[in-house]
Amino acid sequence: MSNEEIKNPKRKLKSDDDEKWSQLSREQIIQRCQQLEKHVEQLRNTIVKKKGKESNEKKTKTMRPFDFSKQPKRHIFLKFFYLGWEYHGFVVQETTSETVEDFLFGALMKTRLIEQRATSNYHRCGRTDRGDTEELDYVHMLNGVLPNSIRCVAWASVPDGKSARFDCISRSYRYYFPKANLDLDRIRQAAADLVGTHDFRNFCKLDITNSEPTFIRRIDNVTVEQLNSGHDLNSKNSGYEMCELLVHGSGFLWHQIRCVVAILISIGQGKEDASLVRMLLDIEKYPCTPNYQIASELPLVLFDCQFDGVDWICDQASLRITICHLQRHWASFQIRATMTKAMLDNLENQISDKQQLPILGQLSIVDTDSNSLLGYNNTRRDYQPILTRPVRESVEAKVEKFQNKKTKLETTDEINQSD
């Protein structure tokens, strides 16, 4: 057997295919392969999702017919909380059915509060009796069919056209982290520079799908507090106390809080000066973002959204039931944390030289590898100050590249369709 035969054991492509691929550049071939891989993954998840829908359809076939045309409709807001780590994000995705919205819409349809997702318009869903009849108990109805880790806690009647997204006047995020070896005073000093209206392009993941993106946002308040909880106070190592970062503002960019946390943590460690926040907000001097790893998504909570003219209705009985559900979750997690802490205490007592005792901060809330999550230091390489690192492309360059790529893809698709 010749060397040529060994190198090419597979059957050659047909001549037409061979000619078609040979006309593409290396970048175009890589791009097409990535598209095909993504398409295969989408098809796999669509099959899984379809099976789940077929299963749900079989269950709903036994439900009694319901004439939505005879029911009055109203526009309402619903307030939920959920334990996000059990789901693949909040927003519905093509590649999975395990998102919070999938379960929410499933519950809304099962309780006949909406007919179908396509016609609900998301904001215009709901039915109620009018006149002297009693209000429907939306909270109780939805919680009866939702998973325990997703709970509806309140509802409000609002005017038609009011949007939960665009009419939100402010949002509050909370981020939780262990104190470890952090200097909280330095973090507070740096966080104070975030307050006000600024261009936060150096504190976010750039979304350049809009040809004229804006990164101007207003932050009204930032606080950093050390929390007091039972097993933290009994800890022999002061690094185990938990802390909370609270950020209140009018609106936020993609990954903005996680970027802010990453910068504040590096300042709290003493690796960066407290002036770093102020310097990164100076886009005249620093128009391009230095390379740095954003913080973990796990401790991030969208805690509250504020609206003008919205009066939330909370049913006391439903609240008591929801509190019971949360207490069970809390007890389960607290027991696990306490057991883990007891193991740590036992092992730490066996270390003779306390100077060699690992510091909690040697884990990493910033690194994304599987061995790190809730600490801060990266001991694998020497630390390079953020402002001396290579920078990412400018916003203008990324927008131009995105538009060029979009044009090329559209041209390629037109060529493929003509073939």
Most confident of 126-135, 142-151, 208-217: 142-151
How does strand 216-226 pair with strand 196-199?
A: antiparallel
* pLDDT reading at 246 higher than 90: yes
Domain closes at, from 166, 185, 213: 166
For residue 363, the tally of other CB atoms under 10 A from its CB is: 20
3-class secondary structure, 13: coil
Q: Are residues 162 and 172 in the same domain?
A: no
Domain count, the chain: 2
Sole residue written with tokens 């559209």: 410
Q: Are residues 273 and 262 in the same domain?
A: yes
Strand ranges for 120-254 from DSSP E: 150-157, 168-178, 196-199, 216-226, 242-249
> To 10 degrees, the CA torsion angle through 143, 146, 151, 153?
-30
Q: How confident is the model at residue 374 (pLDDT cuts 50, 70, 90)?
A: very low
Q: Are residues 138 and 182 in the same domain?
A: no
Instruction: Tell me the CA distances in angstroms from 96 to 43, 45, 85, 92, one per residue in order.
Output: 10, 6, 15, 8
- Annotate 239-267 with b (16+ C-beta within 10 A) or e (fewer): ebbbbbbbbbbeebbebbbbbbbbbbbbb
In this structure, what token pair is assigned to residue 133? 């009849």
Let me know if residue 101 belongs to a domain: yes
Predicted confidence at residue 353, as pLDDT, reads 81
* Long-range residue pairs from 28-35, CB within 8 A, at least 24 positions apart, any chain: 28/408, 28/412, 31/409
Sole residue written with tokens 């973002």: 289
Predicted confidence at residue 188, as pLDDT, reads 98
Let me know if residue 296 belongs to a domain: yes
Q: Where are the alpha helices (DSSP H) in 349-390?
A: none
For residue 399, the tally of other CB atoms under 10 A from its CB is: 18
Q: Are residues 108 and 177 in the same domain?
A: no
Share of residues in the chain with pLDDT > 70 (%): 70
CA angle 396-190-393, nearest 5°? 15
Predicted confidence at residue 12, as pLDDT, reads 46
How does strand 168-178 pair with strand 300-307?
A: antiparallel
* pLDDT reading at 178 higher than 80: yes
pLDDT in tens, 75-132: 778 888 888 887 777 776 766 777 888 888 878 878 777 765 555 545 433 223 333 3
Residues linked to residue 306 through DSSP beta bridges, in sequence order: 170
Let me know if residue 75 belongs to a domain: yes
Closest to 176 (Cα-Cα) out of 257, 237, 276, 238: 257
The average confidence (pLDDT) of the chain is: 78
CATH code of residue 84: 3.30.70.580
Predicted confidence at residue 371, as pLDDT, reads 39
Mean pLDDT, range 22-26, rounded to an integer? 73
DSSP 73: B
Let me know if residue 128 belongs to a domain: yes
Residues linked to residue 281 through DSSP beta bridges, in sequence order: none
Q: Are residues 305 and 183 in the same domain?
A: yes
Packing angle between helix 26-60 and helix 395-418, nearest 10 degrees? 80
Structural domain boundaries, residue 201: 168-312+374-385
Predicted confidence at residue 245, as pLDDT, reads 97
Domain closes at, from 166, 194, 226: 166
CB 121 within 8 A of CB 73: no
129 flagged as catalytic? yes
Q: Are residues 158 and 74 in the same domain?
A: yes
pLDDT in tens, 398-415: 888 777 777 777 666 666
301 residue type, one letter: V
Considering 17, 18, 129, 311, which one is annotated as catalytic? 129
* pLDDT reading at 3 higher than 70: no
Predicted confidence at residue 286, as pLDDT, reads 95
Q: Are residues 142 and 201 in the same domain?
A: no
Residues linked to residue 178 through DSSP beta bridges, in sequence order: 242
Query: What is the distance between the alpha carbons of residues 305 and 79, in angstroms, rounded to a whole number?
Result: 9
Domain closes at, from 166, 185, 207: 166
For residue 55, the tally of other CB atoms under 10 A from its CB is: 10
Q: Are residues 174 and 108 in the same domain?
A: no
Most confident of 195-209, 252-266, 359-373: 252-266
pLDDT in tens, 343-364: 988 988 888 887 777 766 544 5
Predicted confidence at residue 51, as pLDDT, reads 53
Helix and strand tally (H, E) in the chain? Answer: 12, 7
Let me know if residue 335 belongs to a domain: no
Q: What element of type H or E holds 334?
A: helix 316-348
Q: Are residues 219 and 174 in the same domain?
A: yes
Give the lowest-confidence range in 4-13, 205-214, 341-350.
4-13
Let me know if residue 7 belongs to a domain: no
3-class secondary structure, 81: strand
Q: Are residues 72 and 162 in the same domain?
A: yes
* pLDDT reading at 387 higher than 60: yes
